[in-house]
Structure formats: C-alpha cells, structure tokens
C-alpha cells in the first residue's frame, strides 16, 4: 500500500496499491511499458480528488532541472544603436517535476518575466499545461513553445508543439481520453526580459506596477486574501469551472441582479459566468456539512475542515451543484480531476 495523504492537497487519507517517484526520463523508460495495471500520473496533487483508494500504480513526477538559453536574434532585427535596450528572449526548458512557483521566483531573480501573474498557483510545471492553468488574465499556454512527453501506452517519445496542445480555458488536448497516457517530462517556455504588466483582471486596472516583482506581490496578497492555503486547510482550488452561457441567460440574470452579475464576454458572443458568484447567490458560501465546507471568502473552493472522508467532499460538491442548478438552471462541471478505485471518473460516474 502506498499512502497518498501527502500527495493530494485535499489532505484526504487515501492510498494506492503502489507509488513510484519518477526522477528522470529513464525511470519512465525503465518501466515495463505499456503498463499492465491501471496508473495515474501525479504532480503535486493540487487538482485531484480521490473518491476512494486507488487500486493501481501512481507515477509521481519529480523530474527536475531548469535550462535557460538566450534566443539569438538575427543582427538585422535590432539596430546596433538599440542593442543595449533590446528585448531579450529566452527558451526555458523545465523538468515537469519542478514546483511552478519555484520556477517563477527563480526566473524573476534572473530578470526573466511573463509568469508573474501565475505566482503561488500550487503544483508542478508538468501539470500546468494539462488544464492550461490561469490566473489574473494570464494562461501558461501563452508561453509554451512545446512539450516533451512519453506515451505510457507505447514507450514512444513525442514532442507536442504549442498548436498541437489546443490550449483553451482550463483545457488542453491532454484532457481527452486518448491523450491521457502522455506523461509530460519537460515543458519548453518562451519568455523575455521585458515586463509587460497584464492588468485585465478587474482589481488590477487602476494600479501601477513598477516591475514584475510588484505584480507578483499583488497577486500573492490577493490570493492569500481569498484562497485557503492547502498546508492548513485541505482544498484543490476552484472545485468547478466557470460555466459558459448564452447572451440571453446573462441578460435575464443582469435584469434580476441590477446589472451586477460578474461576467466575461467571449469571442463567440457567449459569456463566462463566475461559478463562485452563482454558488454564493445560491446561499452556499461558507456552509459546513460535517468535516467539509465551502470557503467563506471564495465559495468556489470546497475545503476539508478536519478529517473529511472522500465521500463527504463528493456529497458537498453534489449538493452545491444541485443548489446552483435549482436556483439558476445552470450546470456546474468540476475543474478538479476525479479518481476512483480503477482510475479516472466522469462527474456523472461518482
Ligand atoms: P496534479 O493535481 O498532480 O494533477 C492534475 C492532473 O494533471 C491530473 O489529471 C494528473 O494526472 C495530470 N498530470 C499531472 N502531471 C502530469 C504530467 N507530468 N504529465 C501528464 N499528466 C499530468 N489552477 C489554476 O488554473 N489557476 C489557479 O489560480 C489555481 N489556484 C489554485 C489554488 C489552490 C489553493 C489550489 C489547491 C489549486 C489551485 N489550482 C489553480 C489548481 C492546481 O494548482 C493546478 O491545476 C495545477 O496545475 C495542478 O498541478 P499538480 O502538479 O498539483 O497536478
Ligand atoms: N464571487 C462572489 N462570491 C464568491 C466568489 C466569487 O461573489 O464566493 C465573485 C467575485 O466577487 C468576482 C467573481 O465572482 O466578481 C470572480 O471571482 P474571482 O475573481 O475570485 O475569480 P473566479 O472566477 O472565482 C478564477 C479561477 C481561479 C483564479 C481566479 C483569478 C476558475 C474556475 N477559477 O476564479 O483559479 O485564481 O479566477 O484569476 O476559473 C483554480 O482554477 O483553481 C483557481 C483558483
């Protein structure tokens, strides 16, 4: 038995039949591929919910290493008299097991910017492309030039280009069943030394940021105000994704709530609503059922308030989504990945 308690940020006491830390690509190739038993790939376990013990092998990505290469521009691109102030570009190759926030700090200390709005998001660099993590107007996919993977079904190495990853809101091709066997060993990022403040997020618009560290500090203080630290309160961040709805749905809601419904217009004319707002308005913020609850400062986060059992988390998630459905007629879909005894489960299977 392999104890998964410290490998899931919900801090649930669950186990797997076996667990192995993968420290280099060769560790993966040394496995008897294709694996004959069910397996799950894990990074930091900050976006997963184990609904029971897992009867299979857990592969924990601990591949480290950060390699920074300056990208040479052809001399004709930059006039000689502007070379001193020229923007420099970097190709950064990162082991999938590196902790994302350690990478962000390390890069900033070397004057390499771009990822500062993603500060403090838990988890590993290898997991970040899976759901194209995002916060405060920035998504990791915007910086990914390619991903290096090994297909656990065949043992073959494959590089995915940026376009092949098909990044979207909390989406990449790796969420599709036929791409879940690709273990991301390394992530290649294209970054630069120029700080361009990304201030689309409502709370940032009237602020001035003198450098990327100032942006990072603001992001960290905002996150600390709203989100529980999994070190002290078990959680996996937003439990549900923000739902997409039609213009008509938004108009009706705006009428009912005096135009105060937070929403974001999408390119196709539909809108993204804030699931946290819907849950809040369905009277589900800060509620407590036994050892589980929703966070008082951000209703979208389900928390383990002590020694919760997996089925309590599932029951609360079901309750919250049913309340939202009953009040607004809107379906919530989990962002968190769900796992049962034999592997990944769909929302309607738990
Ligand atoms: P895990 O939870 O270990 O894995 C997540 C999924 O990716 C699983 O399906 C797993 O099988 C797969 N996977 C992991 N590593 C690999 C790999 N190397 N190759 C292939 N598949 C892999 N997310 C955001 O987008 N924005 C936020 O602002 C945000 N805030 C959060 C705040 C808190 C407090 C918490 C707890 C979570 C938050 N999250 C957020 C969710 C989470 O941090 C991210 O999804 C993160 O990328 C998960 O990384 P991980 O290493 O913990 O992945
Ligand atoms: N709101 C409420 N009540 C609540 C929660 C939110 O009224 O209980 C309102 C807020 O006042 C705000 C709106 O809803 O007007 C949106 O809230 P917030 O800015 O906190 O962002 P979010 O949409 O709830 C998303 C991501 C977060 C990410 C933040 C910041 C999703 C599912 N979640 O949350 O990502 O950190 O934006 O960019 O897209 C995660 O994915 O795990 C995660 C934490």
Edge-first strand order for the sheet with 66-71 is: 66-71, 89-95, 182-192, 144-151, 157-161
**Residue 302 Cα to ligand 2 middle (Å):** 13
Please give the chain's pLDDT, 350 residues, in tens: 999 999 999 999 999 999 999 999 999 999 989 988 999 999 999 999 999 999 999 999 999 999 999 997 665 666 666 666 678 999 999 999 999 999 999 999 999 999 999 999 999 999 999 999 999 999 999 999 999 999 999 999 999 999 999 999 999 999 999 999 999 999 999 999 999 999 999 888 878 999 999 999 999 999 999 999 999 999 999 999 999 999 999 999 999 999 999 999 999 999 999 999 999 999 999 999 999 999 999 999 999 999 999 999 999 999 999 999 999 999 999 999 999 999 999 999 98
Tokens at 41, concatenated: 């790939």
pLDDT, position 79: 67
Q: Which residues pair with 301 in a beta bridge?
A: 238
Among this protein's residues, is 74 annotated catalytic? Answer: no
Residues 154 and 258: their CA atoms lie apart, in Å, by: 56
Cβ-contact 145, 91 below 8 angstroms: yes
Using CA positions, which residue lies closest to atom 22 of ligand 2?
Answer: 274
pLDDT, position 207: 83
pLDDT, position 166: 98
pLDDT, position 87: 85
Q: Which of 146, 172, 181, 238 is catalytic?
A: 238
In the chain, helix, strand, coil percent, each to 5?
A: 30, 30, 40
Residues 269 and 172: their CA atoms lie apart, in Å, by: 22
The Cα-based distances of 131 to 87, 279, 292 in angstroms read 30, 22, 25
Using CA positions, which residue lies closest to atom 14 of ligand 1?
Answer: 127
pLDDT, position 297: 98
Using CA positions, which residue lies closest to atom 1 of ligand 1?
Answer: 45
pLDDT, position 82: 66
**Residue 45 Cα to ligand 1 middle (Å):** 7
pLDDT, position 72: 75
pLDDT, position 203: 81
Angle, CA of 313, 102 and 146, to the nearest 5°: 90
Residues 130 and 126: their CA atoms lie apart, in Å, by: 8
Residues 344 and 39: their CA atoms lie apart, in Å, by: 10
* 61 alpha carbon, closest ligand: 1
Please count the other Cβ atoms lying within 10 Å of the Cβ belonging to residue 29.
Answer: 11
Among this protein's residues, is 170 annotated catalytic? Answer: yes
């Amino acid at each position: 038995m392999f104890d998964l308690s410290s490998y899931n940020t919900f801090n649930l006491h669950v186990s797997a039949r076996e667990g192995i830390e993968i420290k280099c690509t060769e560790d993966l190739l040394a496995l008897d591929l294709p694996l004959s038993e069910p397996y799950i790939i894990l990074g930091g376990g900050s976006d997963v919910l184990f609904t029971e013990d897992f009867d299979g092998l857990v592969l924990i990505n601990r591949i480290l290493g950060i390699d920074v290469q300056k990208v040479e521009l052809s001399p004709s691109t930059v006039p000689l008299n502007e070379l001193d102030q020229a923007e420099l570009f970097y190709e950064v190759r990162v082991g999938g097991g590196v902790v994302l926030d350690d990478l962000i700090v390390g890069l900033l200390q070397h004057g390499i910017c771009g990822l500062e709005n993603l500060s403090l998001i838990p988890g590993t660099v290898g997991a970040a492309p899976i759901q194209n993590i995002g916060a405060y107007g920035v998504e990791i996919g915007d910086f990914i030039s390619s991903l290096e993977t090994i297909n656990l079904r065949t043992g073959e190495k494959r590089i995915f280009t940026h376009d092949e990853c098909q990044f979207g809101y909390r989406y990449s091709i790796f969420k599709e069943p036929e791409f879940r066997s690709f273990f991301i060993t390394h992530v290649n990022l294209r970054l630069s030394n120029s700080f361009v403040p990304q201030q689309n997020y409502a709370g940032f618009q009237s602020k001035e940021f003198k450098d990327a560290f100032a942006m990072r500090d603001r992001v960290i203080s905002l996150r600390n105000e709203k989100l529980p630290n999994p070190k002290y309160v078990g959680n996996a961040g937003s439990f549900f994704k923000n739902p997409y709805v039609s213009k008509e749905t938004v108009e009706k809601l705006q009428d009912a709530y005096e135009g105060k419904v937070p929403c974001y217009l999408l390119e196709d004319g539909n809108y993204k609503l804030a699931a946290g707002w819907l849950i809040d308005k369905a009277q589900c913020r800060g509620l407590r059922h036994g050892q589980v609850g929703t966070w008082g400062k951000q209703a979208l986060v389900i928390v383990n308030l002590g020694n919760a059992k997996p089925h309590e988390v599932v029951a609360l998630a079901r309750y919250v989504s049913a309340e939202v459905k009953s009040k607004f007629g809107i379906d919530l879909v989990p962002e968190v990945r769900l796992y049962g005894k034999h592997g990944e489960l769909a929302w309607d299977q738990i």
